[in-house]
Amino acid sequence: MEDIRTGTGDRQVVFGKYEIGRLFGPKNVKVYHTRDLVMAEGVVVIVIKTEQVKKEGLMVKSPG
C-alpha cells in the first residue's frame, strides 16, 4: 500500500482515506486517533517503527 499524504492547512490525510487527528503515546509506538473518511467513523492508527519490530521480535510468521 502506498503512503499518500495530502495536506490542506492543518488537515493531513494518509492512504487517501484517513484524516490524522490527535497523537497518543509518543514513546516507542505512536497511536493516532484518526477519522475514516469513507466510513465516516473514528478509528485508531498505530505506527510502529520497522527497526523496533525486528528488535523486539514482534513479527508474526504465517502458518504453513
Decide if 46 contacts 30 (C-beta within 8 A): yes
Decide if 13 contacts 5 (C-beta within 8 A): yes
Average pLDDT over the chain, rounded to an integer: 75
pTM (whole model) above 0.75 = no
pLDDT for 4 beyond 50: no
The partner residues of 5 in beta bridges, in order of sequence, read 14
pLDDT for 32 beyond 80: yes
User: Count of CB atoms within 10 A of residue 58's CB?
Assistant: 9
Cell readout for 21 is 487527528
- Residues 40-46, mean pLDDT to the nearest whole number: 89
Nearest to 35 by CA among 47, 22, 18, 14: 18
